[in-house]
């Protein structure tokens, strides 16, 4: 019995030892599987993080492209709108949509100073009449140059006359609008162009009469009466739209001086200035340098003989 129990114990020991080895193998295999699962989990997490990073990067790139496209479309619409604004002639139509009867009435009104300056006077916001008056002044200047004793060589006066008239109209209107802005006058640029343009009606009348009737006394009468009435009209309108005595004095005094001096310039100095400019730019061609044969005086024979003897004695 003792031997049998020993054999049974050995068998049990062998069974327990085998089961323990099997358990160790299973544990080792499970540990490997767990490590592999952990490695796969870490790899999967890394791929997910990479995917999320790439997704955020792609989303940012897509948003950037969308913003750039929107900015491009907005800029394109603004550029096309600005181009159509300057290219569309219908925008200028309201400034030239006027009846001839209205233009005639405004021409007459430009010579009549207003009396009521307590409230702002109405100014026509159209440019047809002023533009026609500027072209009329150009034609009168050309007529005056042709009827005067001005000599023009190989040139035309059209460009000079247009530059003078349009330069005064646009330049003085811009300067007076800036001055009116500083003096807090209630007037727009279009109204200033219209006011100053209709103010040239007196200049046209004065120059047309005095270019055909050459009397300085007659010019001074027209300068004071006709030019003075058109200037008073503009001054009265500006006074009605300006607040403050100092502002009125600065604005209206500047306009009156410039307008009256321009008429004096057109009558007295314009022809001389243009003639001087044309003489400077268009000088007549100088004839080329030519050699001219000189006449040698005839020397008498005694003089030649005496000179020859003197040279011989010297040698």
Is 264 part of any domain?
yes
What single-letter DSSP state applies at residue 91?
G
What single-letter DSSP state applies at residue 213?
S
Residue 67 belongs to what domain range?
62-97
Residues 145 and 74 in one domain: no
Task: State the Cα–Cα distance between residues 87 and 80, nearest whole angstrom.
Answer: 10
- Per-residue pLDDT at 151: 54
Q: What is the pLDDT of residues 24-58, one digit of tens each?
A: 556 666 777 777 776 666 655 555 555 454 455 56
Is 308 part of any domain?
no
- CA torsion, ordered 132, 137, 140, 146, to nearest 10 deg: -120
> The whole model's pTM is what?
0.60
Tokens of 86: 């300057």
Among candidate residues 15, 274, 34, the one with its CA nearest the CA of residue 148:
274
Higher-confidence position of 65 and 303: 65
Residues 213 and 129 in one domain: yes
Is 230 part of any domain?
yes
Look at residue 201 and tell me whether its pLDDT is greater than 50: yes
- What lies within 8 Å, CB to CB, of 197 at 6+ separation is 127, 129, 130, 131, 133, 134, 169, 173
Residues 160 and 267 in one domain: yes
- What lies within 8 Å, CB to CB, of 140 at 6+ separation is 204, 207, 208, 211
Residues 196 and 76 in one domain: no
Is 178 part of any domain?
yes
- Total number of domains constituting the chain: 2
Residues 78 and 179 in one domain: no
Is 15 part of any domain?
no
Residues 170 and 234 in one domain: yes
Residues 93 and 212 in one domain: no
What single-letter DSSP state applies at residue 215?
-
Look at residue 106 and tell me whether its pLDDT is greater than 50: yes
Residues 131 and 79 in one domain: no
Is 205 part of any domain?
yes
Is 3 part of any domain?
no
Is 52 part of any domain?
no
- Per-residue pLDDT at 177: 94
């Amino acid at each position: 019995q003792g031997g049998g129990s020993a054999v049974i114990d050995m068998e049990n020991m062998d069974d327990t030892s085998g089961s323990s080895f099997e358990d160790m193998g299973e544990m080792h295999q499970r540990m490997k599987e767990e490590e592999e699962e952990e490695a796969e989990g870490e790899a999967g997490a890394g791929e997910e993080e990479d995917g999320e990073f790439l997704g955020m990067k792609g989303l940012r790139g897509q948003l950037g492209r969308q913003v750039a496209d929107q900015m491009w479309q907005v800029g394109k619409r603004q550029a096309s709108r600005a181009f159509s604004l300057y290219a569309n002639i219908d925008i200028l139509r309201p400034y030239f949509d006027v009846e001839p009867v209205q233009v005639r009435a405004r021409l007459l009104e430009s010579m009549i100073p207003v009396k009521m300056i307590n409230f702002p006077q109405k100014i026509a916001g159209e440019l047809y009449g002023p533009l026609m008056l500027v072209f009329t002044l150009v034609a009168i200047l050309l007529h005056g140059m042709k009827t005067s004793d001005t000599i023009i060589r190989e040139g035309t006066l059209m460009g000079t006359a247009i530059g003078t008239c349009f330069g005064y109209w646009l330049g003085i209107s811009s300067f007076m609008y800036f001055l009116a802005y500083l003096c807090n006058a209630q007037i727009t640029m279009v109204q200033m162009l219209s006011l100053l343009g209709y103010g040239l009606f007196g200049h046209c009348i004065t120059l047309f009469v005095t270019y055909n009737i050459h009397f300085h006394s007659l010019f001074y009468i027209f300068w004071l009466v006709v030019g003075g009435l058109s200037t008073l009209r503009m001054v009265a309108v500006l006074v009605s739209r300006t607040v403050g005595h100092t502002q009125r004095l600065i604005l209206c005094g500047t306009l009156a001086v410039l307008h009256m001096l321009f008429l004096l310039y057109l009558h007295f100095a314009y022809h001389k200035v243009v003639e001087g400019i044309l003489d400077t730019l268009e000088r007549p061609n100088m004839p080329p340098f030519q050699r001219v044969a000189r006449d040698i005086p005839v020397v008498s024979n005694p003089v030649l003989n005496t000179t020859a003897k003197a040279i011989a004695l010297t040698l």
